[in-house]
A and B are shown apart, each in its own frame.
Chain A
Amino acid sequence: MTALPAPLEAFLTEVGRFFVMLARTLAWTPRRPWDARELVRQMVRVGVDSLPVVLLTALFTGMVFALQTFSTLRRFGAEGFVGSLVALSMVRELSPVISSLLIAGRCGSAMGAEIGTMRVTEQIDALEALATDPVHFLVVPRVWATVLTLPLLIVVGDVIGIAGGYLISVVYFGANPVTYVENTFRYMDLDDLTSGLIKAAVFGLIVAVVGCQKGYHTRGGAEGVGRATTRAVVLASIAILIADFFLTKILF
Chain B
Amino acid sequence: MPAAPEPPVKIRLREVTKGFAGRIVLDGLDFEVREGESVVVLGGSGTGKSVLLKHMIGLLRPDGGTVEVDGRDLATLAGPELTAFRRRFGMAFQEGALFDSMSVWDNVAFPLLRAGWPKAKRAERVAECLEMVHLEGAGRKMPAELSGGMRRRVGFARAIALEPRILLFDEPNTGLDPVIKAVIDELILELQDKLQSTAVTITHDLTSAFRIADRIALLFRGRIVAYAPPEEFRALPDARVQQFIRGLASGPLTE
Task: Please give the residue numbers on chain A whose beta carbons come within 8 Å of chain B beta carbons, in ascending order.
Answer: 27-28, 31, 33, 117-118, 121-123, 125-133, 136
Contact = CB atoms under 8 A, between A and B. Distances in A.
Nearest to A129: B91
B99 A126 contact: yes
B97 A128 contact: no
A28 B78 CA distance: 13
Nearest to A137: B114
Contacts of A31: 80
A31 B79 CA distance: 12
B200 to A, nearest CB: 13
B84 A131 contact: yes
6 contacts: A27-B79, A117-B100, A123-B98, A125-B59, A126-B99, A131-B83
A26 to B, nearest CB: 12
From DSSP, what is the main secondary structure of chain A's interface residues?
helix
A122 B95 contact: yes
B131 to A, nearest CB: 21
Given A125-B54, A129-B93, 13 more contacts: A28-B80, A33-B116, A121-B95, A125-B97, A126-B99, A126-B155, A128-B83, A129-B57, A129-B59, A129-B159, A131-B114, A132-B83, A133-B83
Given A125-B54, A129-B59, A130-B158, A33 B93 contact: no
A129 B167 CA distance: 11
Interface in B78-107: 79-80, 83-84, 86-87, 89-91, 93-95, 97-100
A126 B91 contact: yes
| Most chain B beta-carbon neighbours within 10 Å: one of A31, A33, A117, A131 | A131
Interface of B: 54, 57, 59, 79-80, 83-84, 86-87, 89-91, 93-95, 97-100, 110-111, 114-116, 155, 158-159, 168
Contacts of B83: 128, 131-133, 136
Contacts of A121: 95, 97, 100
Contacts of A125: 54, 59, 93, 97
B86 A129 contact: yes
A128 B74 CA distance: 14
Contacts of A130: 86, 110-111, 114, 158
A123 B101 CA distance: 11
B67 to A, nearest CB: 15
A45 to B, nearest CB: 12
Nearest to B88: A131
B244 to A, nearest CB: 26
Contact of A123 (B99, B115, B116, B168): B99
Contacts of B86: 128-131
Contacts of A133: 79-80, 83
Contact of B97 (A27, A126, A131): A126
**Shortest beta-carbon contacts, A-B, top 3:** A122-B97, A126-B97, A129-B91
A117 B143 CA distance: 14
A122 B87 CA distance: 18
A123 B100 contact: yes
A136 B79 CA distance: 10
B59 A33 contact: no
Contacts of A117: 100
A122 B111 contact: no
Contacts of B100: 117, 121, 123
Contacts of B111: 130-131
A203 B111 CA distance: 34
Nearest to A114: B101
A122 B98 CA distance: 8
A129 B89 CA distance: 7
Nearest to B83: A133
B54 A132 contact: no
A129 B93 CA distance: 10
Contacts of B80: 28, 31, 133
A25 to B, nearest CB: 13
Nearest to B87: A131
Contacts of B98: 123, 126
B61 to A, nearest CB: 12
Nearest to A31: B80
